[in-house]
Structure 1
């Protein structure tokens, strides 16, 4: 074997070693990559919610993750009260908020397997580079007593406002306006055409 061939083999061996070393790096365990993505916002759908005059508009709840502690979430919803289409500011509008782990969230937002109002059928999420829980909580506190309107100040519009304060990166391209849109349509159709949202999944 001549010197030229020896040099070529050495070069090939060096390249092969570099490739093998790179591909031999430990794989990220399932779930770890998601845990390091920072912020995360999720919308939960109750298909049977808001049944009015023979039509079902659907109901949604919101959830956001602490980017500094990915095992901590806060979540909530505005559920209205006694089927009223409009609730004046200052009157009870069924708003609530909770905090805890993802498992605690899933126990709180009960899964529906029988098409029952008050139980949730599916959820879908979007990752964000960061998230501000305090800003989101302030927004919730500002809105919890500002009334309710079936089309323009409801479970969906309040969720969107909370998401946008949580992460300003959730612009209209990622999070379209929800006023006048039935929550079940927004969840199933509008978010299909918005950027970054994962497909709906059951839990």
Structure 2
């Protein structure tokens, strides 16, 4: 008697197998670029971005804040500092969109430009206040100790959420606000751990 041929997989079983393989593939994908934490509308979030290679290891900081009116919308930016043509300029840049837009190849905070990020959740936050402070800072003059990429990010965080006090954004050298006088690398990776509360881990970007 000839051997019975195995039953042809049904459409349902094939679908289930495909779904299982997709789920396994997703589980194996690297998660370093995942949204820092999923929040419903109403919750706020602030994030530092860090490039440790800039300024001889002193580092360069970028920033992002979450739009509390939408579940996945952020504004982000950086203060690039002066250039030969504009020796006192803040070099301000800003953009907005989803977390996927923020991490895209062409973003001003692209993973090719920054190595780490570190975030904190806030009970609330005002995008309008953050944007207003950004525009005001963009018109000021750069100062290496008191008005730079790191201190500018801190000012935006404070405007965004009143909860971002010195408890969460510790002072820098000589009591300068927002880490003034300290390097972005030291402030974001070390001082926010030893002298502040509420910050998540330093994540590889």
The TM-score normalised by the length of structure 2 is 0.72
Gaps of 5+ in 2: 1-34, 172-178
Question: Corresponding residue for 1:100?
Answer: 97
The TM-score normalised by the length of structure 1 is 0.73
CA distance in 1, matches of 2:84, 2:64: 24
Of 111, 116, 121, which residue of structure 1 is paired with 2:115? 121
Question: Corresponding residue for 1:198?
Answer: 200
Of 44, 49, 52, which residue of structure 2 is paired with 1:47? 52
Give the C-alpha shift of residue 67 in structure 1.
1.1
Structure having the higher Rg: 1
Which 4+ stretches in 1 moved above 4 angstroms? none
Of 35, 39, 64, which residue of structure 2 is paired with 1:35? 39
Instruction: Answer whether contact 1:87 1:149 (CA < 8 A) is retained.
Output: no
Instruction: Answer whether contact 1:46 1:120 (CA < 8 A) is retained.
Output: yes
Instruction: Answer whether contact 1:61 1:159 (CA < 8 A) is retained.
Output: yes
The RMSD of aligned alpha carbons is 2.1
> How does 1:3-152 map onto structure 2 within 5 Å?
34-36=38-40, 38-51=43-56, 56-82=57-83, 87-88=87-88, 92-107=89-104, 108=107, 109-112=109-112, 119-152=113-146
Give the C-alpha shift of residue 197 in structure 1.
0.2
CA distance in 1, matches of 2:165, 2:94: 24
Give the C-alpha shift of residue 57 in structure 1.
1.3
Flag the structure with higher strand content: 1
Instruction: Answer whether contact 1:191 1:197 (CA < 8 A) is retained.
Output: yes
Give the C-alpha shift of residue 83 in structure 1.
7.5
Gaps of 5+ in 1: 1-30, 113-118
Instruction: Answer whether contact 2:82 2:142 (CA < 8 A) is retained.
Output: no
